[in-house]
């Protein structure tokens, strides 16, 4: 049997359990051999882009720097600013970014689309199967 | 630093609270869905136990977040900081 193609997924998410859940899901996937890059804050997420992930899964509400969170940062920097920054960077703008958030708000969803996100999934109403289907679609994987 | 236009007003404290409360629900539903789809059979028994524990931790987190959220709401109400909120 041929080796599964390797893909790198960058998870920009501050919830440890959620990152674990999806890492487990990736570990049993039949189509791909996933390498999960985890970033618990936006600063780490931006730094991890240099690893050239095939896709980014992005939360919207998380600290810029988990070691020094401030209320002001929460207001000024969030997943939207991350998305904007990445899509303006010629080195990284082509990396598909799937927003994975519990903000179920049409205005925010439209904003992420305008900024260049390729999909928006609401965490609490997205099953792991649905998540994997969308991820693979965006990676141009034929299931 | 950004002109996203959807920043401060979207990070309204009540909206953040709602977002935070849904986090544990995502965890609980995610792990339970392994059982619904039989995906759990792909994992060894010790992993299955870990998943149940993670779902229970999600429920505990939900419990503590509810307490924190209502404390914040009461505090905001007492300070007259409550604004109309549309979920």
Contact check, Cβ <8 Å, B51/A129: no
**Over its length of 87 residues, how does chain B's per-residue pLDDT go in tens digits?**
334 444 444 567 777 788 788 889 989 998 998 888 777 888 999 999 999 999 999 999 999 999 998 888 888 888 887 766 555
Entry pTM: 0.82
Min distance A51 CA to chain B CA atoms (Å): 25
Contact check, Cβ <8 Å, A128/B1: no
Contact check, Cβ <8 Å, B30/A28: no
For residue B63, the model assigns a pLDDT of 93
Cβ-based contacts of B16 with chain A (< 8 Å): 61, 74
The rounded distance, in Å, linking the Cα atoms of A85 and A105 is: 21
Closest Cα to residue A82, out of A13, A6, A1? A13
pLDDT digits (tens, 9 = 90+) for A13-32: 998 888 988 998 899 888 99
- How confident is the model over A82-95, as a mean pLDDT? 95
The token pair at A77 is 């920097």
- Percentage of chain A beyond pLDDT 90 is 59
pLDDT digits (tens, 9 = 90+) for A102-122: 888 898 899 999 999 999 999
Look at residue A78 and give its three-state secondary structure.
Answer: coil
What band does A50 get if pLDDT is binned at 50, 70 and 90? very high
Element (H, E) at A56: strand A55-58
Closest Cα to residue A125, out of B25, B42, B74? B25
Mark B60-85 as b/e (b = at least 16 C-beta within 10 Å).
ebbeebeeebeeeeeeeeeeeeeeee
Mark B26-36 as b/e (b = at least 16 C-beta within 10 Å).
bbbbbbebbee
Contact check, Cβ <8 Å, A128/B33: yes
Residue A48, C-beta contacts closer than 8 angstroms, at least 6 positions apart: A10, A12, A37, A39
Question: Most A CBs within 10 Å: which of B7, B25, B38, B41, as the mutation test of the A interface?
Answer: B7
**Interface contact A95, partner B, CB < 8 A:** no
The rounded distance, in Å, linking the Cα atoms of B56 and B28 is: 7
**Interface contact A81, partner B, CB < 8 A:** yes
What band does A36 get if pLDDT is binned at 50, 70 and 90? very high
Query: Residue B19's CB: how many other CB atoms inside 10 A?
Result: 21
Residue A56, C-beta contacts closer than 8 angstroms, at least 6 positions apart: A9, A10, A12, A45, A49, A86, A95, A96, A97, A98
Mean pLDDT of chain B: 80
Cβ-based contacts of B38 with chain A (< 8 Å): none
Closest Cα to residue B68, out of B31, B13, B29? B13
Contact check, Cβ <8 Å, A105/B5: no
Phi-psi region of B40 (alpha: psi -120 to 50; beta: other; left: phi over 0): alpha
Min distance B28 CA to chain A CA atoms (Å): 9
Contact check, Cβ <8 Å, B4/A111: yes
């Amino acid at each position: 049997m041929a080796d599964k193609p390797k893909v790198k997924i960058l998870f920009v998410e501050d919830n440890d359990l959620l990152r674990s859940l999806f890492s487990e899901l990736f570990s049993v996937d039949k189509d791909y051999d996933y390498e999960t890059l985890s970033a618990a804050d936006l600063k780490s997420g931006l730094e991890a882009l240099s690893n050239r992930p095939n896709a980014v899964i992005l939360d919207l509400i998380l600290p810029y720097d988990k070691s020094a969170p401030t209320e002001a940062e929460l207001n000024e920097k969030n997943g939207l600013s991350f998305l904007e920054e990445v899509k303006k960077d010629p080195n990284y703008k082509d990396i598909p970014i799937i927003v994975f958030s519990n903000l179920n708000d049409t205005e925010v969803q439209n904003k992420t689309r305008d900024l260049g996100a390729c999909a928006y999934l609401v965490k609490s109403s997205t099953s792991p199967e649905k998540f994997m289907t969308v991820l693979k679609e965006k990676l141009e994987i034929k299931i | 630093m950004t002109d996203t236009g959807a920043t401060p007003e979207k990070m309204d404290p009540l909206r953040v609270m709602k977002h935070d409360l849904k986090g544990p629900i995502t965890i609980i539903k995610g792990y339970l869905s392994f059982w619904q789809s039989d995906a759990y059979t792909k994992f060894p028994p010790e992993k299955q136990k870990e998943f149940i524990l993670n779902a229970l931790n999600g429920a505990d987190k939900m419990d503590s977040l509810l307490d924190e959220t209502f404390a914040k709401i009461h505090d905001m109400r007492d300070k007259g900081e409550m604004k109309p909120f549309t979920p």
